C-alpha cells in the first residue's frame, strides 16, 4: 500500500512492491524445499568391515588352475597345488563350482608352455560354469 503526503487525494504513481516481495518469498521457499530432494553424485558401495563372528572356513578360497611344463610333452595340471589329470579337470571344476555364488577362476601357466594349453583350461572352466576367468602373470620386479 502506498502512502501519499499532501493535500491531493488522487492517484499515486509509485509502484507497490509488496505483492512482488510476497511472490519472491514464496518462490524462495519453494526452491529451498526442492533443492535438498534432488539427487547428487554417483551411487557407490562402500566396503563394510567383516563381521566378527564369520567362520573362516565358510569363506570360499581362490581357485587357481596351474598349467605346468612337464618333460613328457603334455603339461601337468594342478588345482590349488593338487595334481589333477586333464581328463578329470572338468569334473573337479564342476564339483568345486556347484555350490559357489562367486564363480571366479584364475589360470596360471608356465613361461615356456604353449598358450593353447592355457586356452584349453579356460574352455574347460567355461564348461564348468565359471563366470570370470583371470590370467595370472609372474611378478615383475622393479629393479629388473
What structural domains and CATH numbers belong to the chain?
56-136 (3.30.420.270)
pLDDT per residue as tens digits for the range 107-128: 988 888 888 888 899 999 899 8
> What confidence category does residue 21 fall into, taking pLDDT thresholds of 50, 70 and 90?
very high
- C-alpha to C-alpha distance for 27 and 21, rounded to whole angstroms: 10
Closest C-alpha among 87, 84, 98 to residue 130: 98
pLDDT tens-digit profile of 24-54?
Answer: 999 999 988 887 766 666 666 667 776 665 4
Q: State the pTM of this model.
A: 0.54
**Cα–Cα distance measured from residue 144 to residue 64, given in angstroms and rounded to the nearest whole number:** 26
Amino acid at each position: 500500500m502506498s502512502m501519499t503526503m499532501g493535500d491531493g487525494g488522487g492517484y499515486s504513481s509509485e509502484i507497490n512492491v509488496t505483492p512482488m516481495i510476497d511472490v519472491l518469498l514464496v518462490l524462495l521457499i519453494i526452491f529451498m524445499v526442492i533443492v535438498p530432494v534432488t539427487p547428487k553424485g554417483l551411487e557407490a558401495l562402500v566396503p563394510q568391515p567383516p563381521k566378527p563372528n564369520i567362520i573362516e572356513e565358510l569363506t570360499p578360497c581362490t581357485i587357481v588352475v596351474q598349467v605346468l611344463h612337464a618333460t613328457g610333452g603334455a603339461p601337468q595340471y594342478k588345482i590349488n597345488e593338487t595334481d589333477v589329470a586333464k581328463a578329470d579337470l572338468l569334473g573337479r571344476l564342476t564339483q568345486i563350482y556347484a555350490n559357489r555364488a562367486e564363480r571366479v577362476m584364475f589360470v596360471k601357466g608356465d613361461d615356456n608352455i604353449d598358450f593353447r594349453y592355457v586356452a584349453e583350461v579356460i574352455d574347460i572352466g567355461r564348461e564348468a560354469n565359471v563366470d570370470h576367468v583371470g590370467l595370472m602373470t609372474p611378478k615383475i620386479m622393479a629393479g629388473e
